[in-house]
């Protein structure tokens, strides 16, 4: 499939989708993402992660318990066979405990199962390892239970979509046991399945979930939480745990991230830091217990900079215990550097019954690099606007010191209503007035295109064509659409809410958005390029194009604007094995017929400058 075919298919799908699923406002829309950039970034750093196995097992012994609170993006492979679902703490709305397994239309690589299909099909599997239920024949006390939620903070699964549970019997047949049709978000509900048929009570028993979804994108979400299979139990029983429900967010009052020089410039740095923190701990049938709770902040060297006085509260079964902590802590403003970060950790301990230690601790990294942000770095859905004329989007930031605004980063949905060949303008305003057409445009850069759809972290970095000195105070950063009916798929973080800072302009008037969330748009300042992840675009790399990508039997490499031919081409598979290494030849067509369908990495080295560009290549035979 060529890039043109991929874009054309995605565009046709999203045009119909947005017409059906637009919000009550005719001008604002939310719609699914194309890929999962969190998974893509994990695999960029560790290409062999998806194929790595660590479990050594015969059969899993009871109890079988997983609340998906362990670190990582894939299911714990001592309990589960496959890696289709996404383990995360972002997609669920009011989860049972911290961490869920999310079913969508993507594969283990974070890419669509079938980018050309607009039909429903089986998408993700979550299959248990073989479990020892031998010797339990005619035992009436064996139950499987789990919590389930459609949509959460992501995309609504339609009524024709579903989540399905199957059991594998002693003859090797998979049998339907439970399913639920798609619907809009609701609270997690617990499902109890009584295992009282002897054909399932054997050594080697397995169960599996799968979802029916549209398999061309990051959509039709289901969240699964706290799966437990045990004996000597009953419906709505078995779980004995105290656990966090959500991760902590930013430690800053106003932003999720801000430039470190801007923080250091504040006359009272403590004013930028939250003075109160709240954590909720859920008691699930644990019984009366005493909880000891602590907040801790560490610097880059993992040296503890702050530790709260331990708080102690009693909790009882079926209740939520809320710890409210106040502090006057402020981050150091004297470090001799332009960027830093701190680790925020909250945890609790409890005497008595041993519970799941993974959900007793919550982490958040507080970044001070050279950009402002409201989002948490993860998009759950995409946002776009339409109108008859003058379509603009503006994001308010209160800049803390006079500095050079060098550019902006924007998270573009790589396979939404695709605009990769559409031009737009980057814009900066000093003021605007809601309910009118009044604004003061101070900068505009024309002829820009959205990100390459293979961008790993989702952010495209745009450098302004002239340095823009911005005084301390309010600025509005955004885009002006060249075509009024074009939808730009801006990533939307649903775990933060910045509606008071988000404005759009259509048909001659400015409006404040009604969509809850935070646009993933970040202005960056100072001398250096922005720090986001390993795949950012900056002047130290050079442009490389692989086409077609995805490829079937061959692909080409193009280096726009090359001044010489002294480049080296190296190709790796996802395990890091080197498959090819040769000098770049602009006339050479690379044969991929011998390669299995998968993701590969092509590294091009400029031997004269010592710079490197890495591109992901998808092979679909």
pLDDT of 21 strictly over 80: no
In sign, the C-alpha dihedral spanning 330, 332, 338, 342 is negative
pTM of the model: 0.81
pLDDT band at residue 55 using 50, 70 and 90 as cut-offs: low
More confidently predicted of 543 and 207: 207
Domains of the chain by range and CATH? Answer: 35-236 (2.60.120.260), 260-368 (2.60.40.10), 381-525 (2.60.120), 545-619 (2.60.40.3580)
Least confident span in 3-12, 94-103, 139-148 = 3-12
In sign, the C-alpha dihedral spanning 405, 407, 411, 417 is positive
pLDDT digits (tens, 9 = 90+) for 34-54: 889 899 888 877 878 888 877
In sign, the C-alpha dihedral spanning 197, 201, 206, 209 is positive
The C-alpha atoms of residue 290 and residue 242 are separated, in whole angstroms, by 10
The C-alpha atoms of residue 559 and residue 2 are separated, in whole angstroms, by 19
pLDDT of 478 strictly over 90: yes
pLDDT band at residue 591 using 50, 70 and 90 as cut-offs: confident
Give residues with Cβ within 8 angstroms of 72, minimum separation 6: 87
The C-alpha atoms of residue 448 and residue 425 are separated, in whole angstroms, by 6
Please check whether residue 245 is in contact with residue 95, taking contact to mean a CB–CB distance below 8 angstroms: yes
pLDDT digits (tens, 9 = 90+) for 178-217: 999 999 988 999 999 999 999 999 999 999 999 999 999 9
The C-alpha atoms of residue 294 and residue 311 are separated, in whole angstroms, by 7
pLDDT in the model for residue 353: 57
User: What b-and-e string marks burial along 286-325, b requiring 16 or more CB atoms within 10 Å of the CB?
Assistant: beebebebbbebbbeeeeeebebeeeeeebeeeeebebeb
What does the block give as tokens for 71?
């670190």
More confidently predicted of 266 and 563: 266
For 110, the 3-state DSSP assignment is: coil
pLDDT digits (tens, 9 = 90+) for 357-378: 889 999 999 999 999 999 999 9
pLDDT in the model for residue 12: 35
What does the block give as tokens for 164?
């399905």
């Amino acid at each position: 499939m060529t890039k043109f075919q991929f874009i054309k298919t995605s565009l046709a799908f999203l045009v119909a989708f947005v017409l059906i699923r637009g919000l009550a406002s005719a001008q604002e829309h939310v719609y699914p993402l194309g890929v999962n950039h969190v998974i893509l970034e994990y695999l960029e750093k560790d290409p062999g992660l998806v194929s790595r196995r660590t479990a050594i097992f015969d059969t899993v012994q009871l109890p079988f318990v997983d609340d998906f609170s362990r670190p990582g993006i894939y299911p714990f492979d001592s309990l589960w066979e496959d890696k289709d679902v996404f383990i995360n703490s972002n997609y669920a709305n009011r989860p049972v405990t911290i961490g869920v397994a999310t079913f969508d239309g993507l594969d283990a690589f974070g890419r669509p199962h079938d980018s050309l299909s607009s039909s429903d099909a089986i998408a993700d599997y979550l299959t248990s390892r073989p479990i020892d239920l031998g010797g339990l024949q005619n035992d009436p006390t064996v139950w499987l239970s789990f919590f389930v939620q459609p949509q959460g903070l992501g995309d609504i699964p339609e009524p024709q979509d579903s989540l399905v549970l199957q059991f594998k019997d002693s003859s090797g047949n998979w049998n339907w046991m439970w399913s639920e049709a798609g619907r809009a978000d609701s609270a997690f509900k617990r499902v109890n399945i009584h295992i009282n048929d002897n054909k399932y009570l054997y050594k080697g028993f397995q169960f599996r979930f799968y979802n029916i979804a549209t398999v061309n994108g990051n959509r039709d979400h289901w969240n699964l939480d706290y799966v437990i299979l045990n004996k000597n139990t009953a419906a709505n029983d078995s779980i004995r745990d105290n656990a966090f429900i959500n991760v902590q967010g930013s430690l800053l009052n106003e932003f999720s991230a801000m430039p470190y020089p801007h923080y250091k410039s504040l006359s009272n740095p403590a004013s930028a830091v939250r003075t109160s923190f709240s954590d909720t701990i859920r008691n699930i049938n644990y019984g009366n217990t005493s909880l000891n709770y602590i907040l801790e902040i560490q610097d880059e060297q993992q040296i503890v900079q702050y530790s709260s006085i331990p708080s102690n509260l009693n909790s009882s079964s079926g209740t939520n215990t809320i710890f409210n902590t106040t502090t006057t802590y402020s981050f150091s403003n004297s470090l001799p550097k332009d960027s830093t970060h701190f680790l925020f950790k909250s945890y609790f301990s409890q005497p008595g019954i041993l519970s799941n230690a993974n959900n007793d601790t919550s982490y958040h990294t507080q970044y001070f690099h050279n950009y402002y942000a409201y989002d948490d770095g993860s998009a759950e859905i995409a946002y776009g606007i339409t109108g008859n004329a003058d379509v603009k989007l503006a994001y308010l930031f209160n800049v803390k010191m006079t500095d050079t605004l060098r550019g902006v980063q924007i998270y573009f949905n790589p396979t939404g209503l695709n605009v990769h060949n559409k031009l737009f303008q980057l814009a900066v305003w000093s003021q605007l007035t809601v309910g009118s057409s009044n604004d003061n445009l101070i900068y505009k850069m024309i002829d820009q295109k959205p990100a390459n759809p293979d961008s790993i972290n989702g952010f495209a970095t745009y450098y302004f064509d002239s340095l823009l000195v911005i005084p301390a105070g309010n600025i509005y950063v955004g885009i002006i659409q060249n075509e009024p009916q074009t939808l730009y798929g801006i990533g939307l973080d649903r775990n933060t809410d910045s509606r008071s800072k988000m404005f759009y302009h259509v048909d001659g008037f400015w409006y404040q958005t009604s969509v809850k969330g935070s646009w993933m748009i970040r202005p960056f300042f100072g001398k250096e390029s922005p720090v986001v992840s390993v795949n950012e675009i900056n002047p130290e790399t050079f442009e490389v194009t692989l086409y077609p990508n995805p490829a079937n039997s061959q692909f080409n490499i193009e280096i726009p604007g090359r001044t010489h031919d002294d480049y080296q081409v190296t190709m790796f598979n996802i395990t890091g094995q080197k498959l090819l290494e040769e000098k770049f030849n602009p006339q050479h067509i690379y044969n991929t017929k011998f390669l299995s369908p998968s993701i590969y990495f092509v590294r091009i080295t400029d031997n004269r400058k010592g710079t490197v560009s890495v591109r992901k290549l998808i092979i679909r035979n």
